[in-house]
Amino acid sequence: MEAFSFSCWAYGSVWFFFICLGLQRFSNSAIVLTPALLVYCMLIVLLEWLCHVYLPTALGIFLLSGACWYVLGVISPRKMLPVSGKAVLITGCDSGFGQAVAYKLDSMGFQVVATVLNIDGPGAKELQQMCSNRLKLIQVDLTKPKDIQKALELTKTQIAGRGLWGLVNNAGICVHFGDAELSLMSNYRGCMEVNFFGTLEITKAFLPLLRCSKGRIVTISSPAGDQPFPFLAAYGSSKAALTRVMDTFRFELECWGVKVSIIQPGCYKTGPFNDLSRWEHQHEHHLASLPEELLQDYGEEYVSEIKRLFLKIGDMASEDLAPVVECITDALLAAEPKVRYFTGKGLWLIYFIGNHMPFFVSDRFFRGFFLNNKVIPRALHKQQKEVVEE
């Protein structure tokens, strides 16, 4: 009898917790009551009965909790706001995610203001041709404050009295792919100027409009800002700073009704992987800029091997950008948008190892993340050869 009362208390506690959670999410419109949700709830009741009768209490509680979390947190239909009358500004629409999401939002009926680095470039022209005449292209280099101010004035004119519903901070750049020591200070500064300072500056410039509309800020950061990917110290550091400032905006702007989300994509075949000539040029410039002593220690072959490695990553990158576009759309339209959107193959494993494994495990994992075959600097080759000869 005691065992029975314990398991009743245990199952009752799980039910009480998830019913409260469900009511809370329903009351703030995070989820909507649909026939599908009712079916899911009936299946959970059946699961609970089966667990209670056939499984040990601990296992049953674990399964029931997992099922409740999955229904409430993952598959429950979430309330979405209407598109009508919403204007959104998206940065970095020359290519990649920016171009894809500008096209998607335009096709959904948004008033899209798409900023591009080169308004006469192929990407801008292609976007204009693909989209409706609602779409407005504006040339913006995030490293130029005057461009940002001009974009603000043009946007105010474009949206008239409608207000700006969303700012999608998509523009970003990975200036260099290589060892932290071999990355030039100009590489670090180049990433920070665009990915952190530029994104922060345009966010601050447009915040008065977003506070008026109680709108959305959606920022595409990178897992390289959360985890220590090799060869991405400059880029990752700038994304880490970006993630931090956006997380601060999230809770500081809550009182204004502005919601802030961060998209963390996996590896997708976008601009950097499609513009190989840029990387060849960047590689030559980098070799010419490296201090002689560093080049001696690491060797040109090592630097070239890392470049070849980068190009191989592109071969594995996903060509389907839709999952990222869907996350951005959800962050703009969900009544209760997520704080984080993760989308990419194996990202959960990278975060599990990076966040929950001891350093001697995670360091080994990230050290070998890109390097299947051993690639070592020239000076270490010489040391290994001397050891062998001794």
Ligand X SMILES: NC(=O)c1ccc[n+]([C@@H]2O[C@H](COP(=O)([O-])OP(=O)(O)OC[C@H]3O[C@@H](n4cnc5c(N)ncnc54)[C@H](O)[C@@H]3O)[C@@H](O)[C@H]2O)c1
Ligand Y SMILES: C[C@]12C[C@H](O)[C@H]3[C@@H](CCC4=CC(=O)CC[C@@]43C)[C@@H]1CC[C@@H]2C(=O)CO
Catalytic residues, by residue number, are 235
Work out whether strand 216-220 and strand 166-169 pair parallel, antiparallel, or are unpaired: parallel
* Structure token digits, residue 338: 């997520």
Distance of alpha carbon 314 from alpha carbon 111, whole angstroms: 33
313, interface contact from ligand X, ligand Y, none, CB < 5-8 Å by kind:
ligand Y
Phi and psi based region of residue 213 (left: phi greater than 0; alpha: psi -120 to 50; beta: remaining): alpha
Minimum distance of ligand X from residue 375's CB (angstroms): 22
Q: Treating both helix axes as pointing N-terminal to C-terminal, what angle do 300-316 and 276-289 enclose, rounded to 10 degrees?
A: 160
Among 267, 295, 335, 376, contact with ligand X (rule: CB under 6 A): 267
Q: 280: part of which helix (H) or strand (E)?
A: helix 276-289
Question: What is the total count of residues that contact ligand Y (CB under 6 A)?
Answer: 15
SS3 content of the chain, % helix, strand, coil (to 5): 65, 10, 25
- Residues 254-273 contacting ligand Y, CB under 6 A: 266-267, 272
Interface mask (CB under 6 A) for ligand X, residues 97-116, using x and -? xx------------------
Question: CA 290 → CA 176, 178, 293, 298, 378, distances in Å?
Answer: 13, 12, 8, 10, 15
Q: How far is the CB of 344 from ligand X (least distance, A)?
A: 7
Task: Please select the residue that binds ligand Y; options are 188, 206, 229, 279, rule is CB under 6 A.
Answer: 229
- What does 203 interact with, of ligand X, ligand Y, none (CB < 5 to 8 A by kind)? none
Site string for ligand X, 310-329 (x = CB under 6 A): -------x------------
Q: Which does 229 bind (CB under 5 to 8 A by kind): ligand Y, ligand X, none?
A: ligand Y
Of ligand X, ligand Y, none, which one does residue 142 interact with (CB within 5 to 8 Å by kind)?
ligand X
Shortest spacing between CB 79 and ligand Y, in angstroms: 30
List, in order, residues 6 or more apart from 75 with CB less than 8 Å away: 40
- Residue 22 contact, options ligand Y, ligand X, none, Cβ 5-8 Å cut-off depending on partner type: none
CA dihedral 288, 289, 292, 293 (to 10 degrees): -140
Distance between CA atoms of residues 194 and 197, nearest Å: 6
Considering the complex, what minimum distance in angstroms separates the CB of residue 161 from ligand X?
A: 28
Residues with Cβ within 8 Å of residue 385, at least 6 apart in sequence: none
Q: Any contact of residue 123 with ligand Y (CB under 6 A)? A: no
User: Is 136 in a helix, a strand, or coil?
Assistant: strand
Q: Residue 198 Cβ, how far from ligand Y at the closest point, in Å? A: 14
Footprint of ligand Y on this chain (CB under 6 A)?
172-174, 222-224, 229, 232, 235, 266-267, 272, 313, 344, 347
Footprint of ligand X on this chain (CB under 6 A)?
91-98, 117, 140-143, 170-173, 194, 198, 220, 222, 265, 267-268, 270-272, 317
